[in-house]
């Protein structure tokens, strides 16, 4: 038990470090809509900081909070070093969305925006690292496999960039990766030992719902898609074991569950359609089904590195997107070959929602790909799909799959290093020049940190690879850290 506990501590440290390295790889205001999120966080409580106050009349906020005015935005050749000389002005506050995410992060607000944002980013990194440890400790192997691939590979590079930022999508991603695997484990092995997992699951539900205004839709997609695998676990309860021996009762239960699932799929689809229609006011175009079909796959590939990060201007090298796409679809196809029928049904429902969300948003809003719907809006569904992909696998992991995992480790580590190097190069030098050594003539915006861009890259990559090695050892093991009773 001691060496397993040591592994749990190691997985927390290594995951915290590699995620933390991404949290420091981009400057203030760089993530999508970060200016709006910064204003929402700071101005949730007026006068808590000089950066958002109404001491001299109407409420005003500092331009340092508004990412829309950052000097480096939309120009991939401009480094973030210009932030140090950018003039600060105050603008009148017109309004912002009030969500739990903003209220929570407002606890870490101060007059020092840089220090506050770094703390907020590392709060998100800490929460994700804790969730990884709980997955490592509690999840049975068939649940653990998909969860591992979800947080280690689907996030390259867009997911890592978002989950370590203060973008509201960070909390949606947290819920989409871990909530259903945790619930499934609780239902499967309900006992005193799962009490800590139940508490964390309740907190994850709060995070999911408090992330953003459409958090409830993503939660609905996760719950509805997972009904086949969750319903299958009913046979673990004595009442159902006895009743299911009655053929008529079994047929009745299966029929009720099927009808309920279909109705909930319909209900969630209707709610998504209502949300999609909100974009129509901004469109003066005629977007046909052919236009949607023509650009459809670009959103999937965009979530896996095919689109730029930041304000879409941080283009990743082709090797990153190609490798990430290869890993994602390879793992999905492998899981389809190993999983049982209820797992396949769950994957099919997730796939339906992934396709439906893209299609209905584009058709109802009459906006082209990228004008409103971007890869960051669908990546939570892709995380969820991967997390549940191996639940109920028929057999234990064989040597062939372990060998395939080693290939995925190599590719994903290369993606991690190249992706993070590109992100750092964009903000320390600009993408107009090729710099292998990022410490050369750097314009480093974290001058208060005793670390250079290259040191950050090396430490992050080593930590990511170390995390994989610890996880691979667990995947090779036939034991759980905490044994079921």
Q: Quick one: which of 166, 171, 160 has its CA closest to 214?
A: 171
Q: Quick one: which of 460, 439, 405, 401 has its CA closest to 157?
A: 460
The confidence score (pLDDT) of residue 469 equals 93
The confidence score (pLDDT) of residue 280 equals 54
In angstroms, the CA 334 to CA 28 distance is 40
Task: Give the E-state strand segments of 391-442 in sequence order.
Answer: none
More confident of the two residues 215 and 277:
215
Q: 131-157: per-residue pLDDT in tens?
A: 999 999 999 888 898 999 999 999 889
Read off the pLDDT of each residue in 314-323 and give the average, rounded to a whole number. Answer: 92
**Statement: residue 480 has pLDDT above 50:** no
Q: 165-184: per-residue pLDDT in tens?
A: 999 999 999 999 999 999 99
Q: 13-51: per-residue pLDDT in tens?
A: 999 999 999 999 988 888 888 888 888 899 888 888 888
Give the strand order in the sheet containing 90-92. 52-53, 60-62, 90-92
**Statement: residue 481 has pLDDT above 60:** no
pLDDT band at 221; cut points 50, 70, 90: very high
| Poorest-pLDDT segment among 150-154, 235-239, 284-288, 419-423 | 235-239
Beta strand 52-53 pairing with 60-62? antiparallel
The confidence score (pLDDT) of residue 15 equals 96
Collapsing DSSP states into helix, strand and coil, what is residue 46?
coil
The confidence score (pLDDT) of residue 485 equals 39
**Statement: residue 250 has pLDDT above 70:** no
In a 13 Å sphere around the CA of 69, the CA atoms on its Cβ side amount to 15
Q: 326-352: per-residue pLDDT in tens?
A: 999 999 988 888 778 888 899 999 999
| Poorest-pLDDT segment among 93-102, 143-152, 229-238, 428-437 | 229-238
Residues 264 and 224: beta-carbon distance below 8 Å: yes
* 426-443 b/e (C-beta count within 10 Å ≥ 16 → b): bbbbbbeeebeebeeebb
| Residue 93: partners with Cβ closer than 8 Å, 6 or more residues away | 39, 43, 52, 58, 59, 60, 61
Read off the pLDDT of each residue in 211-230 and give the average, rounded to a whole number. Answer: 89
Terminal Cα distance for the chain, rounded: 16
């Amino acid at each position: 038990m001691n060496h397993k506990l040591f592994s749990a501590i190691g997985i927390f440290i290594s995951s915290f470090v590699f995620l933390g390295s991404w949290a420091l790889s981009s400057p203030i205001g760089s993530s999508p809509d970060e200016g709006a999120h910064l204003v929402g966080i700071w101005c949730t409580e007026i006068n808590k900081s000089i950066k958002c106050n109404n001491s001299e009349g109407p409420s005003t906020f500092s331009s340092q909070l508004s990412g829309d005015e950052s000097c480096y935005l939309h120009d991939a050749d401009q480094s973030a070093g210009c932030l140090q000389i950018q003039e600060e002005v105050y603008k009148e506050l017109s309004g912002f969305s009030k969500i739990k995410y903003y209220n929570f992060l407002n606890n870490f607000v101060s007059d020092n925006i840089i220090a506050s944002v770094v703390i907020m980013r590392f709060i998100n990194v800490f929460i994700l690292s804790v969730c990884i440890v709980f997955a490592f400790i509690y999840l049975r192997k068939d649940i653990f496999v998909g969860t591992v691939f979800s947080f280690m590979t689907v996030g390259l590079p867009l997911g890592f960039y978002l989950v370590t930022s203060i973008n509201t999508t960070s909390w949606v991603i947290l819920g989409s990766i871990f909530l259903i695997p945790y619930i499934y484990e609780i239902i499967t092995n309900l006992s005193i030992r799962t009490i800590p997992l139940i508490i964390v699951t309740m907190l994850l539900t709060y995070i999911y719902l408090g992330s953003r205004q459409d958090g409830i839709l993503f939660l609905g997609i996760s719950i509805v898609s997972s009904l086949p695998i969750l319903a299958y676990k009913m046979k673990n309860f004595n009442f159902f074991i006895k009743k299911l021996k009655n053929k008529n009762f079994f047929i009745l239960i299966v029929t009720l569950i099927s009808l309920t699932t279909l109705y909930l799929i319909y209900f969630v689809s209707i709610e998504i359609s209502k949300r999609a229609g909100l974009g129509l006011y901004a469109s003066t175009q005629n977007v046909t089904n052919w236009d949607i079909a023509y650009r459809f796959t670009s959103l999937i590939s965009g979530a896996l590195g095919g689109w730029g990060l930041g304000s879409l201007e941080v283009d990743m090298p082709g090797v990153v997107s190609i490798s990430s796409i290869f890993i994602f679809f390879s793992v999905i196809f492998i899981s389809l070959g190993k999983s049982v029928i209820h797992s396949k049904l769950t994957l099919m429902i997730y796939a339906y929602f992934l396709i439906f969300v893209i299609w209905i948003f584009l058709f109802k809003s009459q906006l082209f790909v990228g004008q409103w719907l971007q890869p960051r809006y669908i990546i939570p569904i892709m995380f969820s799909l991967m997390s549940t992909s191996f639940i109920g696998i028929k057999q234990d992991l064989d040597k062939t799959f372990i060998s395939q995992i080693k290939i995925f480790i190599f590719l994903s580590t290369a993606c991690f290093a190249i992706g993070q190097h590109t992100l750092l190069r964009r903000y320390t030098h600009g993408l107009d020049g090729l710099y292998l050594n990022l410490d050369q003539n750097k314009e480093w915006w974290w001058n208060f940190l005793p670390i250079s861009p290259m040191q950050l890259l090396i430490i992050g990559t080593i930590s990511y690879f170390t995390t994989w090695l610890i996880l691979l050892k667990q995947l090779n093991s036939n034991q759980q850290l905490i044994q079921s009773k």
